[in-house]
Amino acid sequence: MADMGDMRGRVALVMGGGAGTGRATALAFAREGARVAIADINEEGARETLSLVEELGAEGLAVRADMASGADIQATLARVRERFGSLHMVSNNAALGAPNKPLTEITEQEYDRCMGVTLRGVWLCMKYQLPLIEASGGGAIVNIASVSGLRGEALQSAYAAAKGGVITLSKAAAVEYAKRGVRVNTVCPGGINSGGMAFYLDKMPAELRQKTLDAHAMGRLAEPGEIADAVVYLCSARASFITGHDLVVDGGVLVRSNVIDL
């Protein structure tokens, strides 16, 4: 892909960087010359991503952290500050869905757990990341939302609501920090060919699996690197006037017609 401008000397953090899109994002930052901290609830996954980052010749750091825990996020940022002295670019990528169920059947615990990671977790991350980025001279945050947060999703009401919240939360943060040197945007993916999605796809009957692919005008899911490229672009100097934007990267899910199927 195109050179995103000089990210050498810049410090990036990927929350949920131990697999899938988060791992691809960590690697994309490393290719642009950034130093990359990888935080994940799965410490082994974070360490594996770190090895891949180091294979690219970049410097990195792996931390175990739960995005639903303010204490873990603060500890992660302390490690980043101690190791690199600053923070400029963040992707808040981890999320948790609720089981596929009608709204009336989701339990209060399932709803709270989904919200706790997917929406409150992004708020917690930004609460503690924004002051450090500002103190580092400015930078950018990209929160990973979803097309589900723009149009709703049957049987995934809690997840859709959480992702819709991530989009408006990011716009609010963008306004608060617009004159303070921190840009805040979201990327809204359609289906991604990640471990998380494979878990659901593998269990689906063949017909439903095909329907899932066909929901994308391009007839396929995104590769994690295609989402990562959008994240790195929004963090780069080339996106210097973009803030409060929700960038849809969905292979045509939202524009696909249900009437005329090409």
Ligand X SMILES: NC(=O)c1ccc[n+]([C@@H]2O[C@H](COP(=O)([O-])OP(=O)(O)OC[C@H]3O[C@@H](n4cnc5c(N)ncnc54)[C@H](O)[C@@H]3O)[C@@H](O)[C@H]2O)c1
| Residues at the site binding ligand X, with contacts judged by CB under 6 A | 16, 18-22, 40-42, 45, 65-68, 93-96, 117, 144, 146, 189, 191-192, 194-197, 224
**Cβ 19 to ligand X shortest distance, Å:** 3
3-state SS track over 196-213: HHHHHHHHCCHHHHHHHH
Query: For the chain, give me the number of helices (H) and strands (E)?
Result: 10, 7
116 versus 181: smaller Cβ distance to ligand X:
116
133 versus 230: smaller Cβ distance to ligand X:
230
**Cβ 251 to ligand X shortest distance, Å:** 11
**Cβ 133 to ligand X shortest distance, Å:** 19
* Strand ranges across the sheet with 246-249: 60-64, 35-40, 11-15, 89-92, 139-144, 182-189, 246-249
Let me know if 200 is a catalytic residue.
Answer: no
Residue 244 in contact with residue 174, Cβ under 8 Å? yes
179 versus 202: smaller Cβ distance to ligand X:
202
42 versus 100: smaller Cβ distance to ligand X:
42
User: CB-based contacts of 209: which residues, under 8 Å, 6+ apart?
Assistant: 201
Helix (H) or strand (E) holding 144, with range, is strand 139-144
- Write down the catalytic residue from 159, 177, 200, 233: 159
Q: How far is CA 245 from the centre of its chain?
A: 14
Question: Which residue has tokens 């929901």?
Answer: 215
Task: Please tell me the distance from the alpha carbon of residue 221 to that of residue 201, in angstroms, as a whole number.
Answer: 11
Per this entry, what is the length of the chain? 262
**Cβ 132 to ligand X shortest distance, Å:** 18
Task: Please tell me the distance from the alpha carbon of residue 7 to that of residue 198, in angstroms, as a whole number.
Answer: 32
**CB-closest chain residue to ligand X:** 20
**Cβ 53 to ligand X shortest distance, Å:** 14
Question: Among all residues, which ones are annotated catalytic?
Answer: 159
